[in-house]
Amino acid sequence: MTTFAEIAPDLEHQAIEVPSWAYGNSGTRFKVFGSPGTPRSVEEKIDDAATVHRFTRLAPTVALHIPWDMVEDFGGLTRYATDQGIEIGTINSNTFQDEDYKLGGLTHHDPAVRQKAIDHHLQCIEIMGVTGSRDLKIWLADGSNYPGQADIRARQDRLAESLATIYQAIGDQQRLVLEYKIFEPAFYHTDVPDWGTALAHVQALGANATVCLDTGHHAPSTNVEFIVAQLLRLGKLGSFDFNSRNYADDDLIVGSADPFQLFRILFEVIRGGGYGPDSEVAFMLDQCHNIEKKIPGQIRSVLNVQEMTARALLVDREELAAAQQAGDVLGAHQVFMDAFYTDVRADLASWRESRGLPGDPMAAYAASGYQEKIEADRVGGTQMSW
């Protein structure tokens, strides 16, 4: 079996982008919950994201969401992030919280509304030029609630036209990353409901258009790792939004509900060339911490990804391939499960300590006093939320 010492060098370059919105207040359709210490500005969000990186050295970038993170001076914000030891990452658009987008944005039947949505994305691309961001990530709430409410095919045509207009503004070193979601808030049909629809649109756009796979955006029993393998095979897997879910798009801490699924996904990523210094696949979190504290929630998340990456790297791929070629069904399964059941936590703790990091980042953060400090200092003002 592969040993931890053999795979340790492969852990050096792991990077997991954290979302700015994970540090703001969030909740459910019924209530957004406030909590002490919640950031009141984008800069305070960056402070918290930088804290996660400081304790883990796993989160060198933070994704922004426009207009939630809108500021007058993105050059200044970029310099502020650099001063805190991190960089601005993906820019996420938002065409789902404006009254005009009630019946859709990029797919809307009214050309004026579509143009408004397109212009918003062009603004996001301008921001990318200032922050040095590579990826524009697009998730759409567009769809319909009732049969006959909308012309499904015409909406696809309008979406294709809108995306093509946006794509023309993408720079040579930038990417358009299209996310999909099976349902919500549209309950009859969603305009980009699955990886096949997203793939069809990005293939029509060009080489700098890829798919974002959110691990919570699938029907029950969907084999997500198969989708990972297919998108990698086609060179169209741009990024992950890592989270975990019990029922639908729960945005819970990644690996909390089904760590074995996370392991299986990461194995396919590694096997398919989606992990490593030469890979263009971005690892990101898309989570909201509704009842738990935000910063330890993000620390726990990136540690879960690191742990399952280590386990996936432990799979003896030569032994696995030999068993597969021999038709040894249970033997191949055993190779796979041996790696999954290997407890790498002590090895990872020692590995961190050898690099000047706390062996247990969760405990180190709890003892640092940072949480108590922000709860005492961040009094007054308006807490940020979605």
Residue extents of the structural domains in the chain: 4-377
- Looking at residue 179, its pLDDT comes to 98
Which spans in the chain are helix H?
4-7, 42-56, 74-83, 111-131, 152-167, 195-205, 224-233, 259-271, 294-313, 317-325, 329-340, 345-353, 361-368, 370-377
Residues 6+ positions from 385 with CB-CB distance below 8 Å: 24, 25, 26, 32, 34, 38
pTM for this structure?
Answer: 0.97
* Predicted confidence (pLDDT) per residue in 212-254, tens digit: 999 999 999 999 999 999 999 999 999 999 999 999 888 999 9
| Confidence band, pLDDT 50/70/90 cuts, at residue 88 | very high
Give the integer Cα–Cα distance in Å for 98 and 80: 29
Counting residues of the chain whose pLDDT is more than 90, the rounded percentage is 96
Give the integer Cα–Cα distance in Å for 63 and 56: 17
- What does DSSP assign to residue 97? S
Average pLDDT along the chain: 97
Percent helix, strand and coil across the chain, each rounded to 5?
45, 15, 40
What is the per-residue DSSP string for 266-282? HHHHHHTT-SSTT--PE
The helix/strand/coil state of 103 is coil
Q: Is residue 52 a contact partner of residue 59, using CB atoms and an 8 Å limit?
A: yes
* Predicted confidence (pLDDT) per residue in 53-81, tens digit: 999 999 999 999 999 999 999 999 999 99
Tokens 């790498």, located at residue: 344
CATH number assigned to the domain covering 4-377: 3.20.20.150
